[in-house]
Amino acid sequence: MLPLPAGRKAGAGVAGSLYERHRPGRTLLYRLVEAHYPAFKAQLAAQGSALPDYVEREFDEYLKCGCLEHGFLRVRCETCHAERLVAFSCKRRGFCPSCGARRMVECAALLVDEVFPEQPVRQWVLSFPYPLRFLFASRPAIMGQVLGIVYRCIATRLIRKAGCTRKVGHTGAVTWVQRFGSALNANIHFHMLFLDGAYVDGAPGPSMRFRRVKAPSSAELTQLTHTIAQRVGRFLERHGLLECDAENSYLAGDAMEAGPLDELLGHSITYRIAVGPHAGRKVFTLQTLPSCHEPLDDQVGKVAGFSLHAGVAARADERHKLERLCRYIARPAVSEKRLSLSAHGNVRYQLKTPYRDGTTHVIFEPLDFIARLAALVPKPRVNLIRFHGVFAPNSAHRARVTPAKRGKGNKPKASDDR
């Protein structure tokens, strides 16, 4: 059994102590990819197109993930001498549920045990208009710069609300760049776990005083969303990516870098079918009667396609809730429990929560389902988890506020043992 991270109790976040080997060949997702991925590649080749190398590697490695015939370790217990075979995993970030679930658990445990201090934390979720989702998926460097703008807007508001200035007040956040929606659509949006307040940098010492702030009101969120939209728009216009006239704003013609995934991304973002005889049409859905009584959410601000939500928070003593929140944000893109086949052989995927129009499921033809998976694969060497403020690796305050006490200027001393 692998050792638990430092500070965690035995059984915390672990379903059971017995090891059960992952058998991907028994899952519906694996059978769908194995059966239809070659046909999908052949159809793209017939159209004179091809997948990028990193997307092809994602599919090829997924088909080897958890299969003993592609490599394994023999693990032997030192006490009872029992042996297990542990198959190699693909360790990919696109759509593999097994590797995604392991990364989710490890990441949540690390953040709760070593990064987030025992202070209140609030989740801020920022969604973007369709054109910006496509731009960020095509040009991750631009997305990273926009994320910096968003962080500074929210951090400045929190510090001022705490009665501080940027010189003496400090906050921090951890951001997940989530690439998927609940309908397996490409949807670039930010999940940001912010400290619900700010640290005040007073007298020198190992600790800093924390000032908590009240939850934002609907008016505050709307004003903050407007500020973010304006600053992001100015940034894109300054870099020649956005053109504005008297009435409208639209992305410049050369803002998009032409790539082999452009068409698949465009269809995935706009909920349209990518391949087959129905290409370009809206994805087929199953619907029920929509609810007559929609819950009113006063913790969201909406401006020009931007949507900012801040209705979920965890108190300082709610560490288990914080870990569940981290797991939810870092969850895999595909849920095998919500995946099934229809009577006609199409792929049926259940939404996590029904849409306002009553939509409960989306229906894909098998080749279009493979196209959806391809659009979810991130480009290589693009960090999907970012640390800001006092949590940043180069922050002078990280060692003073994080439970691990590791950071700039506080490196552990080398052992004297030889």
Report yes or no on 32 lying in a domain. no
**d(C-alpha 30, C-alpha 405), whole Å:** 42
Report yes or no on 185 lying in a domain. yes
The whole-number pLDDT of residue 1 equals 39
**d(C-alpha 204, C-alpha 409), whole Å:** 14
Query: What are the structure tokens assigned to 190, written together?
Result: 């930010």
Q: What is the DSSP string of 218-273?
A: HHHHHHHHHHHHHHHHHHHHHTTSEEE-SS-EEE-TTSSPP-TTHHHHHHHHTTB-
Q: Which of 128-132, 204-208, 367-371 comes out lowest in average pLDDT?
A: 204-208
Report yes or no on 12 lying in a domain. no
Query: What are the structure tokens assigned to 220, written together?
Result: 């505050």
Q: Which domain holds residue 139?
A: 99-291+298-395
Half-sphere exposure of 361 (CA within 13 A, CB side): 15
Tokens 């007559």: give the residue: 292
Eight-class DSSP state of 113 = I
Report yes or no on 24 lying in a domain. no
Tokens 């409208």: give the residue: 248
Tokens 């950071």: give the residue: 407
Tokens 């060692």: give the residue: 399
Residue 6 clears pLDDT 80, i.e. is over it: no
3-class secondary-structure state, position 62 = helix
Distances in Å between the Cα of 223 and the Cα atoms of 211, 219, 236, 302, 303 are 23, 6, 20, 9, 9
Residue 318 clears pLDDT 70, i.e. is over it: yes
- CB contact at 8 A, 313 and 120: yes
Closest CA to 108 of 96, 95, 121, 92: 121
- CB contact at 8 A, 104 and 327: yes
When computed from its CA atoms, the radius of gyration of the chain, rounded to whole angstroms, is 23
76-102 pLDDT, tens digit per residue, is 888 888 888 899 999 999 999 999 999
Residue 72 clears pLDDT 70, i.e. is over it: yes
Report yes or no on 2 lying in a domain. no
Whole-number percent of the chain with pLDDT over 70: 85
The whole-number pLDDT of residue 284 equals 78
Report yes or no on 36 lying in a domain. no
Residue type, 416: D
Distances in Å between the Cα of 386 and the Cα atoms of 174, 191, 381 are 6, 10, 13
The whole-number pLDDT of residue 250 equals 62
Residue 415 clears pLDDT 60, i.e. is over it: no
Give the mean pLDDT of 251-257. Answer: 59
Eight-class DSSP state of 25 = G
The number of distinct structural domains making up the chain is 1
pLDDT band for position 279 (50/70/90)? confident
Half-sphere exposure of 287 (CA within 13 A, CB side): 11
264-273 pLDDT, tens digit per residue, is 888 888 888 8
Say how far residue 45 (Cα) sits from the centre of its chain.
31
Query: 353-374 in b/e burial notation, b at 16+ Cβ within 10 A?
Result: ebeeeebebbbbbbbbbbbbbb
Query: What are the structure tokens assigned to 155, written together?
Result: 């951090």
The whole-number pLDDT of residue 245 equals 62
pLDDT band for position 127 (50/70/90)? very high
Report yes or no on 372 lying in a domain. yes
Q: What is the mean pLDDT of the chain?
A: 86
The whole-number pLDDT of residue 9 equals 45
Q: What is the DSSP string of 294-354?
A: PPP--SEEEETTEEEEEEEEE-TT-HHHHHHHHHHHT--S--GGGEEE-TTS-EEEE-SS-
3-class secondary-structure state, position 23 = coil
Beta bridge partners of 393: none
Residue 414 clears pLDDT 70, i.e. is over it: no
Closest CA to 191 of 202, 183, 199, 180: 180
- CB contact at 8 A, 132 and 143: no
- CB contact at 8 A, 17 and 9: no
